[in-house]
A = this chain, B = another copy of it.
Amino acid sequence: MNLDMSLLVTGSIAIDTVKTPYGVSENCIGGSAVYFSMAASFFSPIRLVGAVGSDCPFDFAKVFAGRSVDLTGLEVRKNSKTFRWVGTYGENMDSRTTDYIELNVLEEEPPAVPAEFKDSKFVFLANTAPNLQLKLLGQIDNPVFVAADTMDFWIEGQPEDLKRLLKKINCLIINEDEARLLAKEHNLIKAAEKILDIGSRQYCRAVIIKKGGSGSLMCDGNGNQFILPAYPAAEVKDPTGAGDSFAGGFMGYLARNNKTDFASLKKAVAYGTVVAASTIADFSLNGLTSIDKTNIDERFETLRKCTSF
Contact = CB atoms under 8 A, between A and B. Distances in A.
B306 A227 contact: yes
A211 interface: yes
A213 B305 CA distance: 22
Interface centre among A92, A230, A306 (most CB of B within 10 A): A306
Interface range, A side: 20 to 34
A266 interface: yes
A309 B187 CA distance: 24
Nearest to A235: B187
A309 B227 contact: no
A28 interface: no
Could you tell me the dominant secondary structure of chain A's interface residues?
A: mixed
Nearest to A265: B309
A57 interface: no
Contact of A308 (B186, B217, B236, B308): B308
Interface string A13-31: 0000000000000000000
23 contacts: A91-B186, A187-B236, A189-B232, A190-B234, A214-B214, A214-B215, A214-B229, A215-B215, A215-B227, A217-B229, A225-B232, A225-B306, A227-B229, A227-B232, A227-B306, A228-B307, A228-B309, A229-B229, A266-B308, A266-B309, A267-B309, A269-B309, A308-B308
A234 B189 contact: yes
Contacts of A229: 214-215, 217, 227-229
Interface in A260-277: 263, 266-267, 269-270
Interface string A184-205: 0011011000000000000000
B186 A309 contact: no
Given A214-B214, A214-B215, A215-B214, A226 B189 contact: no
A281 to B, nearest CB: 13
Nearest to A186: B92
Contacts of A306: 225-227
A309 B225 contact: no
A304 interface: yes
Contact of A309 (B190, B214, B217, B304): B304
Contacts of A228: 229, 307, 309
A267 B308 CA distance: 9
A260 B148 CA distance: 45
Given A189-B232, A234-B189, A227 B92 contact: no
A307 B226 contact: yes
B232 A309 contact: no
